[in-house]
Every structure is written in C-alpha cells, then in structure tokens.
Amino acid sequence: MKRTEWPARSLGRCARLMSGGTPSKANPAYWEGDIPWVSSREMDQDRIADTPLHITSDAAEAGSRLVPPGTVLAVVRGMSLAKEFRVAITQRQVAFNQDLKAFACLPDVDAVFLFYALLARREYIRDLATEASHGTKKLETDVLAAVEIKVPDVSIQKRIAGILSAYDDLIENNRRRMALLEQAARLLYEEWFVRLRFPGHERTRIVDGLPEGWERVPLAALCAPDDGIQTGPFGSQLHQSDYCDEGVPVVMPKDLVAYRVALDGIARIPEPTAQKLCRHRLAVGDTVYGRRGDIGRRAFVSHRQAGWLCGTGCLRLRPNPMAIQPRYFFDGLGSPETAGTIANRAKGATMPNLNAAVLRSVPLLVAARHLQERYVAQVENTSEQVDALEAQNHRLRAARDLLLPRLMSGEVEV
C-alpha cells in the first residue's frame, strides 16, 4: 500500500486528549509518593521513565491524572512552545500537570506510531501555538485535536514503530551506560574527598578537621583572576532574532543534562555574532553552571564544546589550572557541602537565581595536589567514554530523524 492511500485522520479521531493537573503544594503528604509527576521540564526527552517529583495515588485523584505505560504526552502550554513542540512516551505509570495533554489511543492506533507521527509533524504543530498570558505560548485543545496525520493499517503502524524504536533503544542503552560511568566518577569523588577514604588516608594527619595539606578556598581564588566567574550574555546582547539553524552552539540551562552538554536541540548563532560575544566563549576545562531555576545543573567543557558560547541563564567558571585541577574543581562543585552552600545562597522565591558575586565567596575543599591528579587520571577515561557515547547518540538521532519522514510518507516500504 502506498502512502497516498493511507487515510488522513485528525488527532481527535486517533486518541482521546486528556488534561492533567498539579496537586496542592499545601499538602506535603501528596508529594511523598512513588508516582512520577511529569511537567514540561521533563519533556525534553523522548521517553519518560522517572521524574524528580513524585506524588501519591491520593494526590493523583485530588489534583492530577494517572496514565499507564505507553501513553503519549505533549506540551501544550509554556515557553518551550516558542521553539519546539515537545512530545514523549511514558515507560511506566505517571501523573502529569496542566501544561501537558495525554493521548489515550483508540484500538486501531498504535501509541508508539502516534508518538513518531507527532514527532514528524512537530514543527508544523509548534507553529500552531498562540500567545498566552505573561508571554508564554499555548496550543488550544481543539486546534491540536484537528491536526491531521496519515494512519495506515495497525500492522504497518507497528512495523514503522519497530524500525524507529530500534534507534531509540540504542540511544537509551547508551544513555544508561553514560549514567553508570558518571555515577562511578561521583562515587569515587565521594569516597576520596567526602568520606576521606583516599589512598594513604591511614597515614595522613588530621589538622582542624581536615587532612594535612588540605584547605577550603573561595571559588574566586581558584578561578582565573580576571574573568574566572562570569554570567552569559544579557538579553540586550543576544536577541531571539540572532538565533539560526547553523552556527556556533549556545549553551542554555536546558542543555545541561546529566553533567554534560546535550547536543540535540541546542540553539545556535552566526559566527559574526559570536565573535562580538567572544568573552563568553567556552574553553576546555570550563564549567558551565545553570544560574536560574534548577540550581546545580552543570557541565564540564571538553574539547568538543571548546569555542561554543555560554548562554543567557548560565554562569561560566574558568578554574586556574595552577590553583586546582579543572575536573576536580567541577566534581567538587557537586559535593554535598558545596552544592548545599550554593543552593542556600540562590535568591528568589519563585525562581532561585545565582550571580557571579554570590559564587565568588563559596568555599571549595581543595585536596592535596597529588590526590587531585591521581583522581583526574582515573576519571579522565570515563569522561572520554561519555563524550563518545553522547556523540554516537547525536548521530543516531540524526539518522532516525532523517528516516522518520520517509517512513511516514511511505517512501520507504515496511
């Protein structure tokens, strides 16, 4: 059967669109459960297996909605709609908030096929969003329900879904490997520099609560003297109209995923514009730190990101290698002591915010130089493996996205 013979159906005739909600924050007991609660923030991934916030079944009944594994979710309200239409599929039972819609598929529509069909039309659907209050965007339910997709027989749907899922399965396996590698590095840091069970600790004197030769030093003294800690460009320096499809990548808080810079969906600006903002260029060994909202997001800059730009909403920290090993510096920022201090100093009731001045006085535990170097030697290979896996995932997504419209158009037979 050729693609042109597939009947067109509106989304409203493919699935029932359901709304979610937010349980009362005034009832802490609602937020002590084991059900992942999905907001637009978690919708930057294709598959939803877990979320930072969890609710109880009572909370789901009182203020949200439960959906089973294999349910398609889409963002219908929020700032992200200005740039992209976010769609994902659940891997377990979840609840979701009012900024999302869930699609309960009819019997003759495969949920995974619907996910990929929406992914194939994401740019078209994004452009249907209209202005909401406070400058956000929204997709009206009737507008979304009227969007048409071509729907073949369910057996063909499943074959298409299987081909595309094979790419995402490889991506997910790589993501799990990256998580394990990064966890191993964090555990080693905690073992040596938090629990103080470093090589030779049995023979090391403790002076004023610290191993001899160790000290707590303000971040300003550990960073480059002139511009070691600085914010990304302000809004007046970098406008929405400056962004383009090709050019120099600009690292935003949303790109700081699992201690690295995610390559997919990253914003870009032309090289001439980047040259005007050269003081915000990233160098190998820098740390990019999110300064708004989810304080603590950060990424270590490898040779792959050198020359990219630190974007609005981020801080760039450039450690002085004569004062501290850059990778040790990066992992130290995530230690419970330092991360807690930074979070406590963030200002803002509705959205925590950091600035360079706040970070400069934050103390960091600096271990003996030979231990820093020994630690970095052990985790350096881990970082290279993570970089290689992230690059492979970028290629896999590109291949999947190239194949996606061809499968959906029937150009490639299944």
253-277 mean pLDDT = 85
178-200 mean pLDDT = 93
Alpha carbon separation from 51 to 39, 86, 91 (Å, rounded): 9, 16, 12
Going by pLDDT thresholds of 50, 70 and 90, the confidence category of residue 350 is: low
- Helix (H) / strand (E) element for 187: namely helix 154-189
Instruction: Report which of residues 192 and 7 the model is more confident about.
Output: 192
59-86 mean pLDDT = 92
Tell me: the pLDDT tens digits for 113-141?
999 999 999 999 999 999 876 668 999 99
327-333 mean pLDDT = 95
In the chain the domains, ranked by start, together with CATH numbers, are 3-152 (3.90.220.20), 154-199+368-414 (1.10.287), 215-366 (3.90.220.20)
User: Does 42 have pLDDT greater than 80?
Assistant: yes
Tell me: the pLDDT tens digits for 375-402?
999 998 888 898 889 889 989 999 999 9
As beta bridge partners, residue 131 has: 137
User: Does 300 have pLDDT greater than 60?
Assistant: yes
As beta bridge partners, residue 395 has: none
Alpha carbon separation from 401 to 40, 167, 265 (Å, rounded): 22, 10, 12
User: What integer pLDDT is reported at residue 3 of this predicted model?
Assistant: 46
User: Does 330 have pLDDT greater than 90?
Assistant: yes
User: What integer pLDDT is reported at residue 1 of this predicted model?
Assistant: 43
- Specify the amino acid at residue 217: V
Contact between residue 309 and residue 274 where contact means Cβ atoms under 8 Å apart: yes
- Between CA 261 and CA 248 the distance in angstroms is 14
Contact between residue 263 and residue 390 where contact means Cβ atoms under 8 Å apart: yes
Going by pLDDT thresholds of 50, 70 and 90, the confidence category of residue 313 is: confident
Contact partners, residue 39, CB within 8 Å, separation at least 6:
51, 53, 96, 97, 99, 100
User: What integer pLDDT is reported at residue 412 of this predicted model?
Assistant: 83
User: What integer pLDDT is reported at residue 352 of this predicted model?
Assistant: 75
Backbone angles phi and psi of 316, in degrees to 5 = -110, 120
- Between CA 130 and CA 219 the distance in angstroms is 44
Mean pLDDT, the chain, whole residue set: 90
